[in-house]
Amino acid sequence: MIYFNALSVNADDSLWVLNEKIKIHFPDLDASAGIFKFPTFTADFKSIEIILSNYPAWSNKLGIDLERFAKHLFFESIAEVRNHGAIRYKYEGIIKSIQYLAMNNLQYFDENSLSDYYRFIIMHGMVKNKVVERPSPLGYHNFSYTLDPAFWINFQEEFKYPKFGFFSRISETKRIKALRSAVQLVFTGTLTLEEWRTGGSFNSLTLDYGQFYIHHCIEFFNDNFILAAAIKKTLEEALDIAIDAGLQLSVDSLKSYGIGTICQFLSGASMEDLSYSTKRKSKEWGQKVQKFTLQRFQHNYQLFSKLSIVEDLELLNKFVSGCGLDPEDTNSF
């Protein structure tokens, strides 16, 4: 049984109350839905189902309708918000919080887990309804949109939810201490909480500290440009892949179906992972599309790997020549 504003209501009534709250500010949304589309992003609460299925032992002892709780918390948190970026990060903050609790088999955060929880929030984002590690830390500006413990506790008390997420109030001093510790871990001492907060986002950091982000971007590019180049070239060869697989596709079909299917295979999807409509269309030659996609990707990856090695050798030869040595004479080294 869930209670709203001290009024005892059944499940249907609680849904109606939540729906009325939503429609005050978002008249086109329906609380009974699991997906809510905003102009710049989509809040898909099927992500809750994914977490529950991944952690069955944890979910069995919750004693709470987690999807209803998450949706209610989300819409309460954005009641007066019009910034779509803020709405997105409030949604992601809720899902990431639930993910953290599930993977650590916790019912709620305490002072001991708060620092690690903040580190998790800063270093994780969401891709295709799943919580994944970010390639770079979340900027403070976007982090600030996530829910603070005080709001979460107030929400639970006002609507009589059982304790979940936060059991008791955490003082501002202890919250800042935990966040400072998390920042220390994330940036390994190169950036303080004050510097991270002042920067707002990495684009606004001073050169003294922005250099660390620039170096990270350079390293990320160097580590991944072969993969990115191979993916790009494979997508450019979509028509060839379709022909190899025996597909008779128009230009429009190639854009709407062919490339989309190839992208899914490049992201690691199996035939079982494809959407129903895609599987229905590709029943006859889906495996061929997958086969030729992966073959071309492997060929392209090897091609760019070899080009990278050649480039490194050219740089090495220039360096050796600059030292007055003959790159062809191994005895001169």
Q: H or E stretch including 222? A: helix 207-236
Q: Which two tokens stand for residue 170?
A: 């955490």
Q: How far apart are CA 88 and CA 239, in angstroms?
A: 36
Instruction: Map tokens 């495996």 to a residue.
Output: 287
Q: pLDDT of 93-113, one tens digit each?
A: 999 999 999 999 999 888 888
- pLDDT for 271-316, tens place per residue? 777 665 555 555 666 778 888 888 988 888 888 887 665 555 555 5
Low-confidence winner among 59-73, 122-136, 246-260, 294-308 (lowest mean pLDDT): 246-260
Q: How many CB atoms lie within 10 A of CB 156?
A: 19
Residue at token pair 């001290």: 6
pLDDT band, residue 180 (cuts 50/70/90): very high
Work out the percent of the chain whose per-residue pLDDT is above 90. Answer: 18
The letter for the amino acid at 67 is E
Please write the tens of the pLDDT for every residue from 123-145.
999 888 889 998 788 888 889 88
Q: For the CA atoms of 79, 83, 88, 91, what is the dihedral angle to 10 degrees? A: -20
| Band (52; pLDDT cuts 50, 70, 90) | very high
DSSP per-residue letters across 250-294: -HHHIIIIIHHHHHHHHTT--GGGS-HHHHHHTTTTHHHHHHHHH
Q: What residues have CB less than 8 Å from 197, skipping those under 6 apart?
A: 140
Residue 207 pLDDT class (50, 70, 90 cuts): low
Confidence of residue 161 (pLDDT cuts 50, 70, 90): confident
164 SS3 class? strand
Band of pLDDT at residue 247, cut at 50, 70 and 90: confident
Q: pLDDT class for 223, splitting at 50, 70, 90?
A: confident
Average pLDDT over residues 152-161: 88
Q: In the numeric block, which tokens belong to residue 285?
A: 């030659």
Mean pLDDT of 37-65: 89
Structure tokens at 169: 């109030």
pLDDT score of 332: 46
Query: Residue 59: what pLDDT?
Result: 92
Q: What is the pTM of this model?
A: 0.60
Structure tokens of 266? 């490049």
Q: Is the pLDDT of residue 333 over 60?
A: no
Q: To which H or E segment does residue 99 belong?
A: helix 84-103
The length of the chain is 333
Supply angle C-alpha 40, 45, 50, rounded to 5. 125
In whole angstroms, what is the distance from residue 146 CA to residue 94 CA?
A: 8
For the ranges 42-56, 109-123, 154-168, 235-249, which has the lowest average pLDDT?
Answer: 235-249
Q: Quick one: pLDDT at residue 327?
A: 52
Q: CA–CA separation, 290 vs 186, rounded Å?
A: 39
Residue 133: strand, helix, or coil: strand
pLDDT over threshold 80, residue 121 = yes
Residue for token digits 């970026």?
A: 85
Say yes or no to pLDDT of 220 above 90.
no
Residue 251, pLDDT score: 65
Rounded-to-integer distance, Cα 38 and Cα 258, Å: 27
Question: Distances in Å between the alpha carbon of 144 and those of 88, 90, 186, 197, 330?
Answer: 12, 9, 16, 9, 58
| Strand duo 165-166 + 130-133: pairing | unpaired
Check residue 279 and give its pLDDT: 58
* pLDDT at res. 5: 37
pLDDT value at 200 more than 60: no
User: Quick one: which of 110, 100, 35 has its CA closest to 71?
Assistant: 35
Residues linked to residue 4 through DSSP beta bridges, in sequence order: 7
User: Residue 316 and residue 80: Cα distance in Å, rounded?
Assistant: 59
- Structure tokens of 113? 């887990």
Strands (E), 33-192: 35-37, 42-44, 108-109, 124-127, 130-133, 165-166
Q: For residue 95, give the DSSP letter.
A: H
Mean residue pLDDT across the chain = 78
Mean pLDDT of 179-201: 83
What integer pLDDT is reported at residue 9 of this predicted model? 39
d(CA 162, CA 216) in angstroms, rounded, equals 42
